[in-house]
């Protein structure tokens, strides 16, 4: 799997499903109390660290970015998929959404007060995670909080359709939270908390709270 190959496939896949994905998740947070709680805690951590702009990396249709704005967080989005940018701008006019990849994050050093990657790292293979976490650390201010959402489990699956039967070609990587935490520590983060979600579902989730070390 070359870097260009999986990134291009992921971009094309989310371009294809952008509109239907947005329709499916637009109101999802209303019925996700644990995610809302995680985002409220993340907002508190950002405020307690002095506030400032927060990057939502892999924001999809932007509903989480918009929710953070309602919590008083100066959030903006970066996503691989240009079609997702169009959908996010349509659904949330006035918010800032840009195209970019977490594998080559176009943010200045220490320029963001916080960083969120909700179920977007799931599409990055293991051998690219340290590069991504290096970018996250570089872009964050020292002491800045990081919030990750991941699928819990083992192994990788190739998803060939989704969100209403649209064709996709995207790898979905499941991970043990302990592995993600170890990668974070290696990249210069302190791991502060984790919460496991959907424990009775076939694919549980986890959110991890970390902080850039000084």
Ligand X SMILES: C[S@@+](CC[C@H](N)C(=O)[O-])C[C@H]1O[C@@H](n2cnc3c(N)ncnc32)[C@H](O)[C@@H]1O
- Residues lying near ligand X in the complex (CB under 6 A) are found at 10, 14, 25, 57-60, 64, 79-81, 84, 101-103, 118-120, 123-124
Instruction: Give the Cα-Cα-Cα angle 38, 70, 192 (nearest 5 degrees).
Output: 25
Q: How far is the CB of 179 from ligand X (least distance, A)?
A: 19
List alpha helices for the chain, DSSP H: 3-25, 33-48, 63-70, 82-91, 126-139, 177-186
Q: How far is the CB of 53 from ligand X (least distance, A)?
A: 17
Q: What DSSP string describes 41-96?
A: HHHHHHHHTT--EEEEET-TTSHHHHHHHHTT-EEEEEES-HHHHHHHHHHSTTS-
- Helices 177-186 and 126-139 cross at an angle (nearest 10°) of 50
Query: Of the two residues 33 and 214, which places its CB atom closer to ligand X in the complex?
Result: 33
Q: How far is the CB of 137 from ligand X (least distance, A)?
A: 16
Query: Of the two residues 78 and 191, which places its CB atom closer to ligand X in the complex?
Result: 78
Q: How far is the CB of 48 from ligand X (least distance, A)?
A: 23
Query: Of the two residues 2 and 214, which places its CB atom closer to ligand X in the complex?
Result: 2
Q: How far is the CB of 59 from ligand X (least distance, A)?
A: 5
Query: Of the two residues 131 and 190, which places its CB atom closer to ligand X in the complex?
Result: 131
- Tell me the HSE value of 164 on the side-chain side, using a 13 A CA sphere: 12
Tokens of 122: 């799931």
Query: Of the two residues 35 and 45, which places its CB atom closer to ligand X in the complex?
Result: 35
Q: How far is the CB of 104 from ligand X (least distance, A)?
A: 8
Q: Which residues share a beta bridge with 118?
A: 149
Query: Of the two residues 118 and 183, which places its CB atom closer to ligand X in the complex?
Result: 118
Give the contacts of 118 (CB within 8 A, at least 6 positions apart): 56, 58, 59, 64, 147, 148, 149
- The residue sitting closest to ligand X, measured at its beta carbon, is 60
Q: Which residues share a beta bridge with 112?
A: 140
């Amino acid at each position: 799997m070359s870097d260009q190959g999986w990134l291009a496939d992921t971009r094309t896949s989310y371009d294809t499903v952008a509109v239907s994905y947005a329709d499916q998740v637009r109101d999802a947070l209303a019925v996700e109390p644990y995610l809302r709680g995680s985002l409220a805690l993340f907002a508190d951590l950002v405020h307690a660290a002095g506030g400032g702009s927060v990057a939502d990396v892999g924001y999809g249709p932007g509903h989480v970015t918009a929710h953070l704005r309602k919590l008083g967080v100066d959030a903006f989005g970066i996503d691989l998929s240009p079609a997702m940018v169009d959908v996010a701008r349509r659904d949330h006019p006035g918010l800032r959404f840009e195209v970019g990849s977490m594998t080559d994050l176009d943010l200045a050093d220490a320029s963001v007060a916080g960083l969120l990657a909700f179920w977007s790292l799931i599409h990055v293979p293991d051998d690219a995670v340290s590069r991504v976490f290096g970018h996250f650390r570089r872009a964050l201010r020292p002491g800045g909080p990081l919030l990750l959402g991941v699928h819990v489990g083992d192994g990788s699956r190739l998803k060939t359709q989704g969100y209403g039967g649209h064709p996709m070609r995207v790898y979905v990587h499941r991970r043990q939270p302990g592995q993600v935490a170890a990668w974070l520590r290696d990249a210069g983060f302190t791991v502060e908390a984790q919460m496991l979600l959907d424990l009775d579902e076939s694919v549980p989730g986890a959110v991890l709270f970390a902080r850039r070390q000084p």
